[in-house]
């Protein structure tokens, strides 16, 4: 995720803390033992006989501060689709100009900036489904200094339009040919969705007064999506892209809702100065139209994306969809900011694999919950339902739509646990256990900030941790259940750190700031990191180097480093082909906070975020 300018971060409020409710039953030493990487949830886990040997069949990659992408011996990592590459809308162009001279119109036909979540959709069945498909890729934000020839020296409507066209989502057709992956150009599937693409608003908040504007008095259509970070996919073949730090695009925020979501006096890219829509003082409802999960049909480039308001409004970090035993869709989500919450949505209706049309609006009806992690290892999903508990008109929630538009305030009111930056969520393909990265939180324990609790046990949490839980009480997970059991899978850290509280309990290779999270079909948990440049230059990260990707055996807790990225980058976004022989990952913002020429390494070039295809040279299963 893009790190937000602290001047425009939102201000958290409300929500009961464990320390305010009950004395923690664990001392720090006991907590470390309880959360040891080798431990399994007390309620169950992967059976020992499920793995005859470690599923991590590769040599650990050393840490690095070099401006290159490193993978284990026997692997190749090929750049597939970098910022500015043609999407395939029309033939082979327009080509990327290394002087940043591409026009706004050309940018709308090219890869956007800062690739993030990525999903693969096979175009054929059988083995062909692993050699030919579509990739849907988020473009989170823009670096204006790289996007324009004169950087930020001047403002203009054309520059704003180019920036807006570098946001959103790419859909590209890809094929494995001659041992390597390439983008198919032209392609009837190719599409660029930007910050100006018309989108339908659906669900309980559609048409609500708080979503109406002068340009859209019905409150049913909004232009664009932006700051698209983590994402997800549905079993009916659509892509879920999530709007995260939308607040940074608006200036002139003044009301309480603006403050709770971080809309302040200025916008980091100053769109508001050339596009009045982003001036919240003139259009106070426009920010309410962002912070949603957007559903996109990658197979139909003429389809209109849909903002699904039933999933709540927050700084969405991912939408991990799984199915409950009864067929209902369950979507797990994080709100990526210090002291924000973990959520899930349970659909009212059931997925019908034989009737695709019946699933079209499955995410419009259901119940949204926020998680409370209790000190005894139990947890409760607290319903965010209008009329229940504190979610009534007297407390500022006039109707069901306002509960969803003010999701953060609703979670405050019911007392959901305030976490250390909840980011990506992954569900184990066999056990149904759920894992969530809590990337870091250096504010916990500071004066005026919440203290520790069992689910967030460290002050000055510079390295972050990964929490996991199992919904339900039966022998198998039930994603629709309202109770769960939880523990801490791993406390990230560096065992060489002089501060014992920061060493963590990693069994294997040290790492910090876990962010991206994904399970492969074997049940290997892949972890991607996003330490900020300021962190990487600190003493705490002296031994860790550039951001990286690791693989974890969740049975033993072993964690092994698989990849290290170039200077200043974040490693993010991960998906794979059904046969497990290709992994696609994204390298975001290489060179942030430093010097990088990756991936082109041209003296006259500039760093470019890119999607990378990773394969074993012998064609085997990646990671095995």
Residue 45 has pLDDT above 80, yes or no: no
> Strand pairing partners for 519?
525
pLDDT cut 90: percent of the chain above it: 88
Residue 439 confidence (pLDDT): 98
* Range from 28-37, 107-116, 266-275 carrying the lowest mean pLDDT: 28-37
Residue 172 has pLDDT above 50, yes or no: yes
Residue 24 confidence (pLDDT): 36
Which of 124, 135, 139 is CA-nearest to residue 174?
A: 135
Concatenated DSSP letters for 347-369? EEEEP-TT-GGGGTTGGGSEEEE
Residue 623 domain-assigned (yes or no): no
Residue 398 domain-assigned (yes or no): yes
pLDDT cut 70: percent of the chain above it: 92
* Range from 5-19, 49-63, 482-496, 579-593 carrying the lowest mean pLDDT: 5-19
Residue 94 domain-assigned (yes or no): yes
Residue 120 has pLDDT above 90, yes or no: yes
What value does the mean pLDDT take over residues 254-275? 95
d(CA 467, CA 464): 10
Residue 16 confidence (pLDDT): 34
pLDDT confidence tier of residue 22, bands split at 50, 70 and 90: very low
**Domain span at 459:** 6-213+221-229+239-271+283-616
Instruction: Give the angle 434-435-437 at the CA atoms, nearest 5°.
Output: 150
d(CA 485, CA 468): 9
Residue 491 confidence (pLDDT): 98
d(CA 591, CA 612): 17
Edge to edge, what strands does the sheet with 434-438 contain? 316-323, 328-335, 342-350, 366-373, 378-383, 483-491, 465-471, 434-438, 422-427
Residue 622 domain-assigned (yes or no): no
Supply the mean pLDDT for the chain.
Answer: 92
Residue 276 domain-assigned (yes or no): no
CB of 432 closer than 8 Å to CB of 426: no
d(CA 337, CA 287): 17
* Range from 17-21, 215-219, 335-339, 558-562 carrying the lowest mean pLDDT: 17-21
Instruction: Give the angle 88-571-234 at the CA atoms, nearest 5°.
Output: 60
Q: Scanning the structure block, which residue is given the tokens 């694999």?
A: 353
CB of 478 closer than 8 Å to CB of 376: no
What value does the mean pLDDT take over residues 498-522? 97
Residue 118 domain-assigned (yes or no): yes
Residue 41 domain-assigned (yes or no): yes
Residue 39 has pLDDT above 70, yes or no: no
CB of 622 closer than 8 Å to CB of 581: yes
Token representation of residue 243: 């709007």
For residue 214, CA distances in Å to 201, 305, 473 come to: 16, 21, 50
Tell me how far the alpha carbon of residue 115 is from its chain's centroid: 11
Residue 41 has pLDDT above 70, yes or no: no
Residue 15 confidence (pLDDT): 38
Predicted confidence (pLDDT) per residue in 313-359, tens digit: 999 999 999 999 999 999 999 999 999 999 999 999 999 999 988 99
Structural domain tally of the chain? 1
Predicted confidence (pLDDT) per residue in 209-244, tens digit: 999 999 999 999 999 999 999 999 999 999 999 999
Residue 234 domain-assigned (yes or no): no
Residue 270 has pLDDT above 80, yes or no: yes
Residue 128 confidence (pLDDT): 83
Residue 407 has pLDDT above 60, yes or no: yes
Q: Scanning the structure block, which residue is given the tokens 């480093």?
A: 561
d(CA 571, CA 513): 11
Q: Scanning the structure block, which residue is given the tokens 């006259």?
A: 604
* pTM for the structure as a whole: 0.93
Predicted confidence (pLDDT) per residue in 350-403, tens digit: 999 999 889 999 999 999 999 999 999 999 999 999 999 999 999 999 999 999
Residue 17 has pLDDT above 80, yes or no: no
Residue 1 confidence (pLDDT): 56
What value does the mean pLDDT take over residues 23-43? 36
CB of 471 closer than 8 Å to CB of 477: yes
pLDDT confidence tier of residue 476, bands split at 50, 70 and 90: confident
Token representation of residue 131: 């050699």
């Amino acid at each position: 995720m893009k790190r937000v300018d602290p001047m425009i971060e939102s201000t958290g409020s409300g929500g009961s803390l464990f320390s305010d409710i009950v004395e923690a039953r664990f001392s720090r030493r006991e907590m470390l033992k309880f959360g040891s990487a080798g431990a399994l949830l007390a309620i169950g886990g992967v059976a020992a006989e499920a793995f005859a040997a470690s599923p991590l069949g590769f040599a650990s990659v050393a840490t690095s501060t070099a401006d290159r992408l490193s993978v284990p011996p026997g692997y190749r990592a090929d750049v597939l689709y970098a910022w500015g590459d043609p999407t395939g809308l029309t033939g082979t162009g327009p080509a990327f100009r290394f002087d940043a001279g591409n026009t706004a119109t050309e940018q709308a036909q090219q890869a956007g900036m800062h690739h993030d979540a990525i999903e693969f959709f096979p175009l054929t069945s059988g083995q062909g489904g692993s050699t030919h498909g579509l990739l849907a890729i988020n473009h989170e934000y823009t670096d204006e200094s790289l996007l324009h020839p004169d950087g930020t020296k001047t403002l203009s409507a054309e520059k704003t339009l180019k920036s807006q066209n570098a946001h959103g989502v790419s859909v590209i057709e890809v094929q494995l040919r001659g041992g390597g992956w390439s983008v198919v150009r032209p392609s009837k599937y190719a599409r660029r969705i930007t910050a100006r693409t018309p989108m339908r608003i659906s669900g309980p908040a559609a048409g609500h007064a708080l979503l109406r504007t002068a340009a859209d008095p019905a409150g049913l259509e909004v232009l664009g999506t932006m700051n698209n970070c983590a994402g997800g996919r549905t079993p009916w073949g659509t892509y879920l892209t999530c709007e995260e730090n939308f607040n940074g695009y608006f200036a002139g925020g003044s009301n309480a809702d603006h403050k709770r979501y971080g809309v302040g006096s200025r916008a980091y890219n100053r769109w508001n100065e050339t596009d009045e829509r982003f001036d919240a003082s003139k259009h106070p409802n426009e920010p309410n139209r962002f912070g949603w999960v957007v559903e996109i049909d990658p197979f139909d480039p003429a389809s209109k994306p849909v903002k699904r308001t039933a999933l709540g409004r927050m700084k969405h970090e991912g939408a991990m969809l799984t199915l409950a035993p009864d067929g209902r869709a369950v979507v797990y989500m994080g709100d990526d900011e210090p002291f924000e919450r973990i959520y899930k949505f349970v659909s009212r209706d059931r997925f019908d694999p034989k009737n695709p049309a019946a699933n079209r609006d499955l995410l419009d009806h259901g119940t949204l919950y926020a998680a409370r992690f209790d000190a005894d290892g139990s947890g409760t999903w607290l319903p965010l339902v209008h009329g229940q508990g504190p979610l009534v008109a007297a407390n500022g929630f006039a109707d069901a739509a306002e509960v969803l538009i003010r999701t953060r305030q609703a979670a405050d009111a019911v007392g959901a646990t305030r976490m250390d930056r909840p980011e990506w969520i992954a569900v184990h393909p066999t056990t149904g256990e759920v894992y969530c990265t809590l990337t870091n939180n250096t504010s916990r324990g500071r004066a005026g900030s919440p203290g520790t609790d069992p689910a967030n046990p460290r002050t000055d949490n510079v390295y972050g941790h990964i929490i996991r839980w199992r919904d339900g009480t039966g022998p198998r997970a039930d994603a629709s259940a309202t109770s769960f059991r939880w523990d801490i899978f791993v406390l990230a850290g560096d065992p060489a750190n002089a501060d014992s509280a920061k060493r963590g309990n990693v069994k294997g290779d040290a790492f910090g700031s876990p962010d991206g999270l994904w399970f492969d079909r074997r049940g290997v948990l892949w972890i991607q990191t996003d330490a900020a440049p300021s962190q990487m230059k600190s003493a705490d990260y002296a031994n860790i180097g550039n951001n990286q990707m690791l693989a974890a055996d969740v049975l033993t807790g072993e964690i092994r480093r698989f990849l290290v990225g170039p200077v200043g980058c974040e490693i993010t976004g991960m998906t794979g082909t059904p046969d497990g022989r290709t992994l696609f990952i994204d390298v975001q913002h290489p060179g942030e906070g430093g010097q990088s020429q990756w991936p082109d390494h041209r003296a006259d070039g500039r760093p470019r975020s890119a999607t990378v295809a990773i394969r074993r040279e012998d064609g085997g299963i990646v990671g095995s």
